[in-house]
């Protein structure tokens, strides 16, 4: 572990003389003590911070900052300080990070890499900001990484460790190179050889704490000590767990790895013996012991095999473990002892011929309180102190949060990673498989190269349930092919305020629209009975967030700087049932496997009760969801959400479990959670019946998914991830999601023969058009994954396209302009309006619209997760398109721009005129939007003739056909087109209100009422 020496008694304003005296007294310690030897070489300077290394980035030698967004990068300065441990200056900085941020020193790429292999480790002075010394390990955690191999510092391999800032004043942090581990959550080039060579080093980086403001100072980075030859080699095993059937043999491969892949200079010996564990030596297995020797000169990668044979007694029994203890001389030993595991056998729960209910009952009857608590625990994979904790704590589930990805971020690496975790569960008594979960909310969006669909708001705009079902099917196929059986989707929120940063996760503002899109559940899970869940192209789905997360009041959130997300939903009971609960009732009918409560609170007007956090609302979870609706799956918490329940941690656990939560996404605090849950049950604060119900629900889904029979990844569909077939489905969804709001003079569709001028921030940016929850939690701009931008798609259809992002190129000589503007990516409350965001276009986008639309006929596409305020420029725009967040298939947008497919999309949200109107929704007593809910022009074919008379005929026809039949849809479409033509650009409150209400009625199946409302809108126009 990193060691630190503290400079006691030193303060920032200490006189120079006193500082010099203290420094003189302490500096001799740098080469002495437990971590240094008398014959150690002198330290090798890396950074003195005297100005010899500038603030600069690659390819120059320099120090630079970075962060998740523009606010996350820390500030840095080289400052004169009288108490500087070395020289006159130190590196000082401040930070206030919400996502991630830190700074790096990269050595110049034009110069050779540095060789650190002769040194023991790296050390530096750090100025602690604590007002009093803290117990070791209790301060702010700061990650420190070094950059090994590769072409340069930004194309190297990252090795990481961390230290905690537990002190006040200067202290020296020493980190032996032996403490660094390969970084598994991110590698800039996907990793190289996963061997810390130390002979081609490119610098270092520090990742600073998030969620708190802070300052720091740093000085005198240097290499210290003499490398230990024994630590230039390490002994490995090819696995940590070796499951075998009773009577079978396990082959434990003992291998050798060296830094820089050099042959070893001294022999390495490994003594091995089978001892301990739950299996009985001589009865369950034949004991083995001996020595493996790697002579001097043995190359890196060499291995030898030890075989452990088990015996067969034919008795039914749980799994039994046989540790293979390794004692290593001359090299670094493996971090954990490998185990051979004799598989559980002969027990009823393992019999796939039995009904699931009987299998669950049998397994539950055998489980200890600790094992039950483990099944109710879900940890984030990066939070594991050791992968061995999966078995030690009997964890039931792991997840990858947004951006928690393997290296490299490929489908094969995902499957290998999940299988590695799943293997650990085989070391438990009953070998209960993990259920691994991921947020695949518009495709398998964490995986580079996967098929990314439009976000839900765009799917809602299609008004096509078959598109939603196809999206669910494609997503499920790609997710399951990476070994993941569980998806935290779909979001069934009904978004009632566009200021919400999660608006794009909703299918729309109308519960009837949301319910109609729940065909996505069948796409994911298959039959409502759950009989298809064990297929290799289906996953367990999650209805979220129960209930009311789309209705939180602006300004009610108390989470950080959020303004609306995770706030309070204030509704009457009638509004709650009609608007927010209705989609969940539909999900239960469709057999949804899991439900996730919302971070938000619910305040039912008139019941005399205060607002209740949804994770604590027993009346809604136990009473409404499980009892009234009859939900049979299990309830999973949101990320660390129970921590927001008022009270101490024991109270959080007790309250949430008693309220009906079955599994807790802890996600980091799994050790404390399991012990606390066990304690609350033992104390009688949580009934045993509640625990047994929760575990039964979890096990039922695991059995239905077929995980006991096939726990590992079935990658037979891996070649379909990002395949042409899947991308074609996403392309079609993107095309159908485009909503044509205005089309004066028939500017759209474009003609291939036209000379087109393209501008705007979102015309050529995959990251922007995919939005948040793409590769990382917040998403990011730029070329983050494979696909086609809108500009790419247009170039395939146009004979002449000129692109100028800021419209700085000359606008002379063009037939038409296309300006693609809108938002940059965000997720959740980070995107809330008022939290650094608004609904206005950026000044640069406004300027591009003004310039292009003044020079030629123009079409403006708004790529965004919610409506943008465009009213002040609308008069100068000929054609306006709501493109939403179309995903990776920009070809789909080009398809409707050039008439390969008609515009058929309709607004899933009311488009406001101003922020002062918000919230504004269909059905409001006062309703005067820029564009009403359901609005959407089409280029399908000419509008039917006849006007009022045609509407009368359609009204009669509405009495003869069903709303959801092809004839019914044709009647509604014809009527809507007649009304939209009559309204034209003169949208008024009088025509908007019945027009929007007609769309709602149509979605509820009331075709006659819808045509009557459309007729009223026609009269008002």
- Residue 609 CA to residue 411 CA, distance in Å, equals 49
Task: Annotate 884-924 with DSSP letters as a single string.
Answer: E--TTBHHHHHHHHTTSS------SS-B-SSGGG-S--TT-
Please list the alpha-helical segments (H only) found in 367-464.
369-375, 389-392, 411-425, 456-462
Contact between residue 884 and residue 457 where contact means Cβ atoms under 8 Å apart: yes
**Cα 146 → chain centroid:** 26
Secondary structure E strands in 649-743? 664-665, 739-743
Quick one: which of 519, 651, 511, 627 has its CA closest to 1004? 511
Q: Which of 148, 246, 765, 828 is catalytic?
A: 828
Contact between residue 750 and residue 798 where contact means Cβ atoms under 8 Å apart: yes
Residue with tokens 């009473």: 623
Beta strands at 121-129 and 213-224: parallel, antiparallel or unpaired: antiparallel
Task: Annotate 714-726 with DSSP letters as a single string.
Answer: -GGGGGGTT-HHH
Contact between residue 264 and residue 156 where contact means Cβ atoms under 8 Å apart: no
828: annotated active-site residue: yes
- Residue 145 CA to residue 180 CA, distance in Å, equals 8
Contact between residue 319 and residue 279 where contact means Cβ atoms under 8 Å apart: no
- The length of the chain is 1021
Quick one: which of 674, 685, 666, 661 has its CA closest to 369? 674
CB atoms within 10 A of CB 421: 18
Contact between residue 391 and residue 377 where contact means Cβ atoms under 8 Å apart: no
Contact between residue 993 and residue 976 where contact means Cβ atoms under 8 Å apart: no
Contact between residue 588 and residue 629 where contact means Cβ atoms under 8 Å apart: yes
Secondary structure E strands in 940-982? none
| 3 state DSSP class of 976 | helix
- Residue 466 CA to residue 507 CA, distance in Å, equals 14
Residue with tokens 């434990």: 252
732: annotated active-site residue: no
**Cα 98 → chain centroid:** 15
Structure tokens given for 180: 């660094």
Residue with tokens 């799917």: 459
Residue with tokens 């298939």: 889
Please list the alpha-helical segments (H only) found in 452-525.
456-462, 465-480, 511-516, 519-525
Secondary structure E strands in 693-749? 739-743
Name 655's Cβ contacts closer than 8 Å, sequence gap at least 6.
Answer: 616, 642, 645, 647
| 3 state DSSP class of 974 | helix
Q: Which of 174, 371, 498, 638 is catalytic?
A: 638
How crowded is the C-beta side of 124, counted as CA atoms within 13 Å? 22
CB atoms within 10 A of CB 136: 11
Quick one: which of 712, 739, 804, 745 has its CA closest to 984? 745
- Residue 197 CA to residue 147 CA, distance in Å, equals 10
Residue with tokens 């094969």: 412
Which CB contacts under 8 angstroms, 24+ apart, belong to 569-573?
A: 569/600, 569/601, 569/602, 569/603, 570/603, 570/605, 570/611, 571/602, 571/603, 571/604, 571/605, 572/604, 572/605, 572/606, 573/604, 573/605, 573/606, 573/607
Structure tokens given for 355: 């009904």
- Residue 928 CA to residue 987 CA, distance in Å, equals 9
Q: Which helix or strand (DSSP H or E) is residue 1011 part of? A: helix 1007-1020
DSSP designation for 775: S
Q: Which residues are catalytic?
A: 638, 828
């Amino acid at each position: 572990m990193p060691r630190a020496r503290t400079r006691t008694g030193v303060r920032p304003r200490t006189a120079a003389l006193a500082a010099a005296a203290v420094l003189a007294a302490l500096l001799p310690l740098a080469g002495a003590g437990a971590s240094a030897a008398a014959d150690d070489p002198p330290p090798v300077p890396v950074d003195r911070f005297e100005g010899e290394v500038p603030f600069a980035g690659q390819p120059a030698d320099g120090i630079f900052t970075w962060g998740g967004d523009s606010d996350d990068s820390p500030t840095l300065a080289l400052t004169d300080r009288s108490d500087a441990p070395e020289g006159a200056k130190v590196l000082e900085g401040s930070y206030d990070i919400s996502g991630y941020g830190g700074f790096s020193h990269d050595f110049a790429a034009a110069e050779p890499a540095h060789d650190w292999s002769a040194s023991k480790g790296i050390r530096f002075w750090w100025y602690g900001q604590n007002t009093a010394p803290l117990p070791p390990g209790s301060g702010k955690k700061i990650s420190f990484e070094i950059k090994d191999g590769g072409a340069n510092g930004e194309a190297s391999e990252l090795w990481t460790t961390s230290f905690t800032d537990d002190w006040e004043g200067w202290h020296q942090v020493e980190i032996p190179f032996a403490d660094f581990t390969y970084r598994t959550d991110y590698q800039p080039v996907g990793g190289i050889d996963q061997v810390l060579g130390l002979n081609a080093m490119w610098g270092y980086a520090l990742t600073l704490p998030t969620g708190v403001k802070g300052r720091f100072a740093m000085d005198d980075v240097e290499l210290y000590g003499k490398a230990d030859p024994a630590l230039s080699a390490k002994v490995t095993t090819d696995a940590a767990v070796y499951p075998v059937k009773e009577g079978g043999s396990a082959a434990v491969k003992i291998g050798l790895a060296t830094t820089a892949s050099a042959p070893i200079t001294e022999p390495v010996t490994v003594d091995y013996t089978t001892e301990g564990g739950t299996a009985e030596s001589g009865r369950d297995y034949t004991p083995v012991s001996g020595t493996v020797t790697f002579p001097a000169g043995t190359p890196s990668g060499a291995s030898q095999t030890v075989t452990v044979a088990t015996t067969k007694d034919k008795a039914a029994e749980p799994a039994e473990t046989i540790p293979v203890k390794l004692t290593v001389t001359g090299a670094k030993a493996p971090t954990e002892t490998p185990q051979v595991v004799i598989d559980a056998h002969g027990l009823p729960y393992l019999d796939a011929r039995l009904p699931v209910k009987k299998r669950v009952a049998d397994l539950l009857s055998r489980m200890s309180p600790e094992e039950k608590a483990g099944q109710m625990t879900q940890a984030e994979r990066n939070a594991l102190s050791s992968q061995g904790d999966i078995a030690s704590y009997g964890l039931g589930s792991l997840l990858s949060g947004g951006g928690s990805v393997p290296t490299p971020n490929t489908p094969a690496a995902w499957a290998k990673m999940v299988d590695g975790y799943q293997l650990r569960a085989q070391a438990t008594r009953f070998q209960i498989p993990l259920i691994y979960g991921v947020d695949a909310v518009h495709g398998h969006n964490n995986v580079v190269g996967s098929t990314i669909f439009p976000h839900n708001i765009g799917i809602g705009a299609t008004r096509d349930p078959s598109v939603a079902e196809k999206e669910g099917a494609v997503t499920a196929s790609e997710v399951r092919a990476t070994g993941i059986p569980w998806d935290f989707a779909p979001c069934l929120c009904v978004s009632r305020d566009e200021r919400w940063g999660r608006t794009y996760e909703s299918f729309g503002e109308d519960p009837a629209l949301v319910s109609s899109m729940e065909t996505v559940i069948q796409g994911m899970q298959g039959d409502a009975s759950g009989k298809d869940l064990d297929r290799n192209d289906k996953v367990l789905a999650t209805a979220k967030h129960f209930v009311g997360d789309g209705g939180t009041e602006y300004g009610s959130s108390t989470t950080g700087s959020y303004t609306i997300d995770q706030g309070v939903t204030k509704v009457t009971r009638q509004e709650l049932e009609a608007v927010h609960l209705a989609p969940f009732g539909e999900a239960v009918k469709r057999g949804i496997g899991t439900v996730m409560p919302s971070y938000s609170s619910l305040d039912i007007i008139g019941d005399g009760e205060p607002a209740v956090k949804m994770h604590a609302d027993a009346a809604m979870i136990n009473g409404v969801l499980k009892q009234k609706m009859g939900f049979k799956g299990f309830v999973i918490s949101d990320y660390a959400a129970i921590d927001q329940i008022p009270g101490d941690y024991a109270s959080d656990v007790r309250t949430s479990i008693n309220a009906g939560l079955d599994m807790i996404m802890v996600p980091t605090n799994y050790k404390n959670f399991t012990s606390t849950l066990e304690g609350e049950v033992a104390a009688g604060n949580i009934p045993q019946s509640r625990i047994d119900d929760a575990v039964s629900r979890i096990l039922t889904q695991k059995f239905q998914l077929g995980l006991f029979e096939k726990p590992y990844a079935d990658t037979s569909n891996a070649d379909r991830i990002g395949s042409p077939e899947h991308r074609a489905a996403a392309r079609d969804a993107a095309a159908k999601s485009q909503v044509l709001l205005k089309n004066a003079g028939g500017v759209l569709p474009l003609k291939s023969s036209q000379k087109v001028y393209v501008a705007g921030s979102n015309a050529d940016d995959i990251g922007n058009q995919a939005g948040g929850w793409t590769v990382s939690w917040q998403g990011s701009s730029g070329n983050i994954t494979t696909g086609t931008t809108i500009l790419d798609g247009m170039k395939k259809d146009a004979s002449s396209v000129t692109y100028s992002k800021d419209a700085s190129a000359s606008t002379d000589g063009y037939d038409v302009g296309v300006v693609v503007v809108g938002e940059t990516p965000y997720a959740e409350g980070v995107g809330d309006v008022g939290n650094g965001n608004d609904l206005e276009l950026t000044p640069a986008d406004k300027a591009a619209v003004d310039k292009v639309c003044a020079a030629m006929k123009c079409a403006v596409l708004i790529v965004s997760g919610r409506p943008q305020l465009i009213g002040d420029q609308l008069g100068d725009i000929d054609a306006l398109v709501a493109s939403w967040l179309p995903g990776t298939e920009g070809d789909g947008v080009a398809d409707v721009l050039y008439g390969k497919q008609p515009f058929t999309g309709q607004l899933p949200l009311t488009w406001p005129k101003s922020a002062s109107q918000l919230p504004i929704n269909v059905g409001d007593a006062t309703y005067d939007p820029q564009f009403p809910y359901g609005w959407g022009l089409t280029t399908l074919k000419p509008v039917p003739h006849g006007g009022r008379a045609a509407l009368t005929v359609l009204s009669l026809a509405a009495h003869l056909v069903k709303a959801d039949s092809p004839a019914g849809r044709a009647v509604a479409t014809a009527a809507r087109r007649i009304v939209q033509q009559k309204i034209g650009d003169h949208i008024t409150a009088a025509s908007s209100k019945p027009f929007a209400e007609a769309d709602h009625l149509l979605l509820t199946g009331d075709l006659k009422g819808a045509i009557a409302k459309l007729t009223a809108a026609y009269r008002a126009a």
